[in-house]
Amino acid sequence: MKTFLAPVIAPALLCGLVSCQNAFAQSPDGANGKKQVSAFACDRSALTPGQRKRHFEELGPALRARKKSVRELPDGFAFEFPADLATFQLAADWVAGEHLCCSFLDIDLHWERERGPLWLRLTGRDGVKQFLQAEGSAWVKP
């Protein structure tokens, strides 16, 4: 089984999936030991203008066009894609961008064994699934 966890390198995944804003909510950090927690909003400024254009106008639409199916998960969604190298590279580029602008997501890119399909999972803490349903409707509808 080949599994590729993509802590996402380029600003593409959810920002291409959803409308993005420059907004972050922070939990207190430091003395009380709490970790910073980003809001359910994408930080488009994490991408250069060229990266934003590529992510939203090229990578996102091209990847969405290759989507074969969608599976609802308890904490998000899994998207099935053809298991060819070109689709994997497209998905990896999109994931890299999405990781930058939507840091609240857990992103997993997975090829099933025996030349099975390619899966892209978008999951996260409470509220991520509802965010994806509301803001990423073009992605989550079958």
Domains of the chain by residue range: 2-22+41-140
For residues 13 and 30, give the distance between their C-alpha atoms in angstroms, rounded to a whole number: 30
Check residues 136 and 91 and name the one with the higher pLDDT: 91
Strand partners, 115: none
Inter-residue long-range contacts of 67-74, CB under 8 Å, 24+ positions, other chains counted? 67/139, 68/117, 69/142, 70/139, 70/140, 70/141, 70/142, 72/129, 72/140, 73/121, 73/123, 73/129, 74/129
Q: How confident is the model at residue 16 (pLDDT cuts 50, 70, 90)?
A: very low
Residue appearing with tokens 């991408």: 47
Q: Is this structure's pTM higher than 0.85?
A: no
pLDDT for 120-142, tens place per residue? Answer: 999 999 999 999 999 888 888 87
Question: Is the pLDDT reported for residue 23 higher than 80?
Answer: no
B/e letters for 108-137, b = 16+ CB within 10 Å, e = fewer, are bbbbeeeeeebbbbbbbeeebbebbeebbe
Strand partners, 121: 78, 108
